[in-house]
Structure 1
């Protein structure tokens, strides 16, 4: 495998930005934390300290929420017309676009993301999300209702209030704009807690939001740790809604805190263990390109990565041979190098977690086709890793009476099948690894493919590769996942709702569905002439 390890040397020093913002952003100002404490943000390329960042805690969250509440209750943002909010959001978009080089560099430096890919695709997609919701801001309408008993009613869609956004480290810019854009369009005010591993771009975006004319207190950013700042947001009595993206384990904690405080609304986009089902009628080479993108995008740090690739037995041997060959050709190295395909994992903890899962795969009897080792002497680099002979244990039966509502169902050709007690038995096939590790699993029939694909507690995304429309339709209706890609993967659009089934959470990002969760519906009823109420 070819590898490039520049480890932040002078070759790319011209791309390294000066760090301008390291303090909390509260009520339109950059301020130190109440405690004065800071924490280090680390360059995953070199394992060296980039900067010391203000460490927010409960007291800082209280100040940020106070600012957001004042801006919501008395400030201009919720009271502006939708078109005026949209105009300011478009100004924000313009400033973000003008600073794309520096923003992309911050995420490469802080999170190991590919610099050129960020500029060309990932950050422009985030722009499209901001643009979509800026255009939606003046399209928030209620309904007029003709009611019984000579009553007339209408509904108002009003902003939910103060929102707490807790965002992960894998797409710092994208997640910031994905969360804040619909909330801004709705007229909410907010507090954003970026992940402690990647706080730099969130602070820069807050600065640009102020320059765009978003009023003070509307966007506040508190950097810090999940168990302190994140916990304070989840349990805060004056936050009306929490939107969280991250692990299922932490999602449970967020939901419990919200329920035991003021019963605030919660939206959770959680973990995934997405299957890509490859049927034997496809062109293998073109499908491998889909599999490479699905499995190794963003060094596997992607909740929708196709970390389980199910391949029909007729093409299984050809597929795994070619898949491993393509993966061996991937270049792992400095994310600022334009020839790099895969940068470092975000931090030491994630790096060690991924390597531990690779060892689990070896011990549990899977066949290591390629990769499986760290790269270089410095930085959190891991080779793209592929396992075959990954075993899946499941129960499959034909029945005429359904009595187990927790079973996974498939109805086809007037028959009803039930898949009971579905469970993959290798950890690399069951757990969300969040790294460049892919399991290839063999199947024979459509029914077996569906059973194995659904044999997970997650349900965020899935892919299907086939040239048979009947197979595509049957399988897509049978998979329990929030988004299904057919003959493509990671095909997102700002207009297409995205979210999870099962333990992948609930609530939707993107589309108008992503806006509605930041709105309350109020009904107003008035009696008309001759109404019995008069």
Structure 2
């Protein structure tokens, strides 16, 4: 933190011309692309994501993110206020100083880039803490940044346990903004630490329990089933925006669930470095035990596990779980309300659009959602009515850097991606000049 503060105060990066910062960020993007395969393998060794997805979601996304903010940084200007003729009012965007970033294990390089690239683009210094179980790709990214000309001290990647390293960032008087992606419990601790220290701004992306709503008039039910299966089972369900609550109109419920079962059972689960497998490993033994504990709760509450629900044993060992679908899940069930962060899909039947909307909004979360319908008016009504930061219509996932990602309710605050992410890493400064 001292190194980041020194680098910021002496202006080696913060006062560098925008064109010079742009050049460095483009070099970083180029190097990430050049090392994409090795970076993806580093990540897969850490977190078990299937290789096909890891290659696109990790280095592929990270390179695009650095390039997006490289191009954006000199397009974001200050303002001239409409004041009286004898006064000049200027609104400047100034870097905040030192940014602390704490990122999770599921997509460390992608989510790390969502924090790093806009913060660096605006001239800040960064101290980044990876998750305990997934640091290899971010440590290599730090080396890449140095090799591409990012000055010493501007980016610092520090490993360690959340209770020690993360707490040090949260409680520091020298960190101006804290950006975090992870659990709600940790997010609350970060807010408490901010209150105890310097009231640093905290931007928290805290996951979700995202509804995926299928109406009987969906344009193509089979396609919807295929995309919905990917929306919950890719990366073993370890995706913040995963469509983990399926809400299906009663008239097509049985048909659609049968399609989903076929999709789930066709997925090959195994060694994430084997390109013949569709789904890789669960991140850790602890996470797998948590996933399986939800099966006991689901059955106790009347849910029916129609496929999966078990650990898949491999000769090589490892932590693998079968894609799981649980039907007859009611609104008050744990599987409806609590985030599993595993390959577990709960299914709930609805009769009317109003009931679907009430069920969609029936949790404390509000990160993402999906709606499948051929009725344009209904699609707009659902987008307006669902409390979520992202609502997909006749698709699920895949939004790029041009649009923001953020949640409402207990899914957090602030936004990653898009030009709106830059707002987290600047202070507005007014100059009021008498002419």
Interval containing the TM-score (normalised by the shorter chain): over 0.9
1:343-362 equivalences in 2 (<5 Å): 343-362=280-299
- 1:81 & 1:261 partners in 2: Cα distance? 33
Q: Does 1:248 align with 2:178?
A: no
Distance 2:231 2:37 in 1: 26
Name the counterpart of 2:28.
Answer: 92
CA shift, 1:118, in A, is 2.0
Gapped runs of 5+ residues in structure 2? none
Contact 1:151/1:525 (8 A) holds in 2? yes
1:427 counterpart residue number:
334
User: Which residue is 1:300 aligned to?
Assistant: 237
User: Cα distance, 1:483 vs. partner?
Assistant: 0.6
Match of 1:482 among 389, 406, 411: 389
Match of residue 527 from structure 1: 434
The CA distance in 2 between the partners of 1:122 and 1:101, in whole Å, is: 10
- Provide the rounded CA distance (Å) in 1 between the counterparts of 2:192 and 2:289: 29
3-state SS of 1:77 partner: coil
Is the CA contact (8 Å cut-off) linking 1:156 and 1:523 kept in structure 2? yes
How many angstroms does 1:293 deviate by? Answer: 1.5
Distance 1:492 1:136 in 2: 18
Residue equivalent to 2:265? 328
Cα RMSD, aligned residues only: 1.0
Aligned partner of 1:340 among 266, 273, 277? 277
- 2:212 aligns to what? 276
Distance of 1:490 and 1:260 partners within structure 2:
38
Offset of 1:209 from its aligned partner? 0.4
For residue 121 of structure 1, report the CA deviation from its aligned partner.
4.7
Deviation at 1:122, TM superposition (A): 4.2
Deviations 1:164-221 (A, max 9, x none): 0000000011011111000010000010000001011111100000000000000001
- Relative to its length, the structure with more helix (as a share) is 2
Equivalent residue for 2:128?
192
How is 1:26-425 mapped onto 2 (pairs within 5 angstroms)? 65-148=1-84, 150-282=86-218, 283-377=220-314, 378-392=317-331, 425=332
Mapped to 2, the partners of 1:195 and 1:327 lie a distance apart of 29
Whichever structure has more strand as a proportion of its residues is 1
Rg larger for: 1
Structure 1 stretches of 5 or more lacking a match?
A: 1-64, 393-424, 529-534
* Paired residue secondary structure (1:316): helix
* Secondary structure in structure 1 of the residue aligned to 2:82: strand
**What's the CA shift string for 1:358-393, capped at 9, x where partnerless?**
12111211011100110015211000000011112x
Task: Note the C-alpha offset of 1:150.
Answer: 2.3
Q: TM-score, normalised by structure 1?
A: 0.80
- Pairwise CA distance, 1:149: 7.2
Which whole-Å CA distance do the structure 1 matches of 2:99 and 2:7 have between them?
12
Using structure 2 for the length normalisation, give the TM-score.
Answer: 0.98
Corresponding position of 1:464: 371
- For the Cα contact (< 8 Å) 1:485–1:491, is it kept in 2? no
